[in-house]
Structure 1
Amino acid sequence: MAQKPIVIGVAGGSGSGKTTVAKEIYRQFANQSILIIEQDAYYKDQSEKSMEERLKTNYDHPLAFDNDLLIQHIKSLQAYESVEKPVYDYTAHTRSDKIIPVDAKDVIILEGILILEDERLRDLMDIKLFVDTDADVRIIRRMVRDIRDRGRTLESVIDQYTSVVRPMHNQFIEPTKRYADIIIPEGGQNRVAIDLMVTKIKTILEDKALLKK
């Protein structure tokens, strides 16, 4: 059996560009054995709560995530075992009854706002990235995304950002920057940082004899 897969953590605030960075790294290794796991898929099941209670969910708080299951799945993938990734239903505000089968790969990209907050998750990562983008850029990106893709009003996006997203970012996300091996300013727009990251990953894969020539 090959050596265990490498795990690359990509963290950063909402709208920072972390998803763009994760997808760009994935694209660079498209002919390799690689997968992406999104922390967003691991929001806790809330089926036992009323809809009124579910609507109060703070999705930017560490307690919103089922990290126990996420850690279990990462460890299984590192052992080259398949997992069943959950699917979160944002309309019902709880986990759906659907799952996505995920086969093990040599490179695992773990992406999410709070993946560096839990020491147990950090200990599973070979490389830890933090995508660091100015707050004004992040709020503009979030406005565009939520209004365009999620049918939100401008007022509701601003209210959520000022009452929840910004304080949670300052309290829980921003401090995790100190755990990062590499900080990438401006996310997916930073070609130099992404190219350096890709080169580093290639070196690790070659050292582990995982890179397909």
Structure 2
Amino acid sequence: MADNHGGTESHVTIQRRTHYSPPWADVSIIGIAGSSGSGKSTLSHAIVRKLNLPWVVILSMDSFYNPLTPEQSKRAFDNDFDFDAPDAIDFNVLVDCLRDLKAGKRAEIPIYSFSKHQRLDNTTTIYSPHVIILEGIFALHDPRIIDLLDMRIFCEADADTCLSRRVLRDVKERGRDVDGIMKQWFRFVKPNFEKFVEPQRKVADIIVPRGIENRVAMAMVVQYIERKLIEKSTHHRAALTQLELAAASDPLSDRVVILDQSPQLRGMSTIIQDIDTSAEDFIFYFDRLACLLIEQALNNVQFREKTIATPQGYKYNGLQATGDVSAVLVLRGGAAFETALKRVVPDMRTGRILIQSNVRTGEPELHYLKLPDNIDSHESVLLIDTQMASGGAALMAVQVLVDHGVAQDKIVLACYAAGRLGVHRLAKVFPGITIVLCNMLADIEDRWVEKKYFRC
């Protein structure tokens, strides 16, 4: 009895240690500070263009100005409010956003309107960046932010150059007049630079004079970011390999459901897997199988009894889902289930996730994300793809849902076919999810279903 208890405890401990960290779980943050008009934004955009990667994001401190009272707003329109002092920035909200992003969570970034001198009600969502470039005059001011930064940069430029750039920017982009700009410059900007901005040079790792004209400094920053991205990629692939080794000897989870292999289902699977099957027949039978998969996946949904009175005066006793049900399609394979989804649940809300494997390294990469609103409150979320081999893309897709507040036990992954290794790996990391399959195929199976369904 003692031996069995010890074995169970050891198994639980091992299971708890099994963890998946996506590439954005420890995002690298680069802070770029400097005087107004010193070229911070220009340098940031030049770095992003040089890298040409979708997961390098610029976060401007201009978004984090404090909301203004009616009196302060009036002073702002009269060019009599100091926007260049640290008190104008909501550092608490900024630090919270950076900490969330550093931890791999979603962050809601405020939107500030310079024409209205007010923070807007809507926000911009940032999720899954690998590198964040934080740019603003006080990017190196708050010690809490400095502790989160991986690289600290200070931009320098001649005062006359800074003033001319500020005039051009504020007139063109913010609807300001030259007299008001000059008034603010000499009353607020210049004194605050000497008092608050210039001292940030002392904590900078790199001081960049002449902005984007300084090609040596830009090359250093780009090389640093590229090295960080390579390190993240190497660590991510090593973690996936480790998960593979950990899951290889485990029995299949009891939350893995394989459709009953009836003669009808085996017949349709044979037609689908026959290389000589025409495209029309393939689509017809796959849609039928997809309907069966979705119906099985919906068994995870909780229902309550409901009585409806018909127009003829009769009463019908039926069942109603206790909450909303939505589906997230993993592109492009998941799009093959759209016809079946409309047949089974015509009004189901759907989202999209595009995860593609890097052609050079084989590492899964998140390229696009659009989830249904309030997905964290849904009763059940179907995650749909045609095939799962190693499980790398499925791991990332489930992690995305978990990061957006969806509980594991509400997630149902529906796949036409999956490799045993990928299923083991996914169930090991996320033991609470349900996996519904039609077939178990080889771990190295090519993604042939979507190619044949979409004829390309």
The answer to whether residue 150 in structure 2 is matched with residue 126 in structure 1 is yes
Q: CA deviation at 1:93?
A: 1.6
Higher mean C-alpha deviation, range 175-184 or range 39-48: 39-48
Q: Is the 8 A contact 1:133 1:185 kept in 2?
A: yes
Name which of 117, 126, 132 aligns with 2:141.
Answer: 117
Q: Is the 8 A contact 2:82 2:188 kept in 1?
A: yes
**Cα distance in structure 1, aligned partners of 2:71 and 2:106:** 30
Q: Give, as a single letter, the amino acid of the residue that structure 2 aligns with 1:76.
A: D
Q: Structure 1: give runs of 5+ residues left out of the alignment.
A: none
Q: How does 1:128-143 map to 2 (within 5 A)?
A: 128-143=152-167
Secondary structure at the aligned position of 1:4 is classed as: coil
- Structure with greater contact order relative to length (CA < 8 Å, sep ≥ 6): 1
TM-score, L = length of structure 2:
0.44
Match of 2:56 in 1: 34
Match of 1:175 in 2: 199
**Cα distance in structure 2, aligned partners of 1:147 and 1:43:** 20
Higher mean C-alpha deviation, range 186-195 or range 41-50: 41-50
Q: CA deviation at 1:18?
A: 0.5
What is the CA deviation profile of residues 33-84 of structure 1, one whole-angstrom value per residue up to 9, with x for unaligned ones? 2211111000011256563355443110001001100110011111111111
Q: Give, as a single letter, the amino acid of the residue that structure 2 aligns with 1:175.
A: P
Q: CA deviation at 1:29?
A: 2.4
The answer to whether residue 192 in structure 2 is matched with residue 185 in structure 1 is no
The answer to whether residue 41 in structure 2 is matched with residue 12 in structure 1 is no
Q: Is the 8 A contact 2:138 2:197 kept in 1?
A: yes
Q: Give, as a single letter, the amino acid of the residue that structure 2 aligns with 1:160.
A: Q
**Cα distance in structure 1, aligned partners of 2:125 and 2:142:** 25
- Count of residue pairs brought into register by the alignment: 213
Higher mean C-alpha deviation, range 145-154 or range 65-74: 145-154
Q: Is the 8 A contact 1:8 1:108 kept in 2?
A: yes
The answer to whether residue 112 in structure 2 is matched with residue 88 in structure 1 is yes
Q: Is the 8 A contact 1:47 1:94 kept in 2?
A: no
**Cα distance in structure 2, aligned partners of 1:27 and 1:171:** 33
Q: CA deviation at 1:175?
A: 0.9
Q: Give, as a single letter, the amino acid of the residue that structure 1 aligns with 2:51.
A: F
Secondary structure at the aligned position of 1:139 is classed as: helix
- Runs ≥4 in structure 1, deviation > 6 angstroms? none
The answer to whether residue 67 in structure 2 is matched with residue 45 in structure 1 is yes
Secondary structure at the aligned position of 1:203 is classed as: helix
Match of 1:160 in 2: 184
Q: Is the 8 A contact 1:13 1:132 kept in 2?
A: yes
Q: CA deviation at 1:187?
A: 0.8
Q: Give, as a single letter, the amino acid of the residue that structure 2 aligns with 1:152.
A: R
**Cα distance in structure 2, aligned partners of 1:74 and 1:190:** 28
**Cα distance in structure 2, aligned partners of 1:154 and 1:46:** 23
Distance 1:149 1:106, change over 3 A: closer
The answer to whether residue 44 in structure 2 is matched with residue 22 in structure 1 is yes
Q: Give, as a single letter, the amino acid of the residue that structure 2 aligns with 1:202.
A: E
Q: Give, as a single letter, the amino acid of the residue that structure 2 aligns with 1:124.
A: L
Match of 2:288 in 1: none
TM-score, L = length of structure 1:
0.91
Match of 1:201 in 2: 225
Q: Structure 2: give runs of 5+ residues left out of the alignment.
A: 1-20, 237-357, 361-456
Q: CA deviation at 1:117?
A: 0.8
Distance 1:50 1:208, change over 3 A: closer
Q: Is the 8 A contact 1:16 1:138 kept in 2?
A: yes
Q: Is the 8 A contact 2:30 2:149 kept in 1?
A: yes
Distance 1:136 1:54, change over 3 A: closer
Q: Is the 8 A contact 2:114 2:174 kept in 1?
A: no
Q: CA deviation at 1:104?
A: 2.4
RMSD of Structure 2 on Structure 1 (CA)? 2.0
Q: Is the 8 A contact 1:58 1:64 kept in 2?
A: yes
Distance 1:50 1:6, change over 3 A: closer
Q: Give, as a single letter, the amino acid of the residue that structure 2 aligns with 1:149.
A: E
Secondary structure at the aligned position of 2:148 is classed as: coil
Secondary structure at the aligned position of 2:233 is classed as: coil
**Cα distance in structure 2, aligned partners of 1:89 and 1:152:** 13
Q: Give, as a single letter, the amino acid of the residue that structure 1 aligns with 2:47.
A: I
